[in-house]
Amino acid sequence: MGFPNQIGSSFLETLCKAYDLGSPCDSIPMPGTRNRNLVVRTDRGEWFVRNRYGGYSEPGRISFDHEAVKFLSARGVPVVLPLSNTDGASFTTYDGAIWEIYPFVEGTPFLEGDAGLFKALGAAVAGFHEAGRGFPLRCNKLAPRGETDPAVIFQQIETIERGNPACASVLHWYRTWTSDATKVLPDAAFRRLPHTLVHGDLQTANIIVNGDRIAAFVDLDWCAWQPRIYDLAFAVLFCCSTHKTPIRGDDIWSLTQPPILTHESVEAFLQSYQAHTSPFSHHEMRALRSQAILSWCHSRVAGALKVPPQDRSAFLSRPPDSLHSMLSAWSKSRGGTVPNSCTRTRNRARP
């Protein structure tokens, strides 16, 4: 296996010494679209080594994230605590970069569309949220509504359009969907929803499964005090769905494929979630549909900023049929009304 060239064996030896992990033997690069990750094997065991993305490395944010993990772990939530180095710190700075080390967790990423895991995931997310309601700290990450804040999505749309005028026609649809969802779920209504500590990025690569149980929630870079539907929207889009090809956590094109949803998959997850926590109100269920649209628009628009400018039009132009299927699944299961502007998107959305 050996050491990745961009890491260097001498640095790994220094890092392992700082955490008293023994002598490194080999390492395996792991996927990720922001952080640089690898599994390191030493003569004392296996460890997950993480070079934290610079944009997520403000001291206050790191402290918040690590305190959140500590709080959840103490209440039985399956999360993984970062190791402390020999100085007692939960991260190490080397050559301007932030490094974290975690115990290696046996298991595999959540298998999308696995009906046998929907109930386990629903129960585990409910447990996360139940525990998180008592977390006392707050940290504003990016915007009041996180990555799915309509103002952030609109700003990102403008950024792409200025740099890529050819994307204007396809960006029109993302602007329209974001606007329609925001009318149903404006800021005031969003603030009134039940809040808790949320994971913030529930997708298959961030959920480790061992057998029929959720072994760990990992990568809490976007954990925050938000409505619980923030997590549920991501879980439905990325875990309760299937895709044309299996999702790869290190490929933004793969991560943003149109999800294929069914009534059965959505209902199994949401019923399990509600069986382990307080049920949804009608207003919360309606808000969840709008939040899922915002989450979808965020994933595509923010994702477009991660690909080369010349590829952005093709990236954004892929079919967004999920909006229709997603809303239809919830409408059937809850007897809700689907806004006309959204039900028409299936036929008009293809640029």
Whole-angstrom CA distances from 65 to 4, 58, 62, 83, 317 are 27, 11, 5, 13, 35
CATH 3.30.200.20 segments of the chain: 9-104
For residue 264, give Cα distances in angstroms to 114, 167, 201, 292.
12, 36, 23, 17
- Considering the chain, tell me which residue range(s) the CATH 3.90.1200.10 domain(s) occupy: 109-348
Q: Which helix (H) or strand (E) holds 97?
A: strand 97-103
Report how far residue 254's alpha carbon sits from residue 247's, in angstroms, rounded to the nearest whole number.
5
Tokens found for residue 274: 């509600």
- Each residue's pLDDT expressed in tens, for the chain with a length of 351 residues: 344 445 667 888 999 999 999 999 999 888 777 788 899 999 999 999 999 999 999 999 999 999 999 999 999 999 999 999 999 999 999 888 999 999 999 999 998 878 789 999 999 999 999 999 999 999 999 999 999 999 999 999 999 999 999 999 999 999 999 999 999 999 999 999 999 999 999 999 999 999 999 999 999 999 999 999 999 999 999 899 888 888 887 899 999 998 888 888 899 999 999 999 999 999 999 999 999 999 999 999 999 999 999 999 999 999 876 566 566 655 555 544 433 334 333 333 333
Question: What pLDDT score was predicted for residue 7?
Answer: 62
Whether 186 contacts 94, CB under 8 Å:
no
What pLDDT is recorded for position 32? 72
Nearest 10 degrees: Cα torsion 328, 333, 339, 344 = 10
Residue 4's pLDDT is 44
- The Cα 309–Cα 211 span in angstroms is 41
**Residue with token string 């309509």:** 150
CA dist 111 → 120, 161, 241, 313 (Å): 12, 35, 10, 29
Top CATH class of 9-104 equals alpha beta
Residue 318 CA to residue 302 CA, distance in Å, equals: 15
The fold adopted by the segment(s) 109-348 is Aminoglycoside 3'-phosphotransferase; Chain: A, domain 2 (3.90.1200)
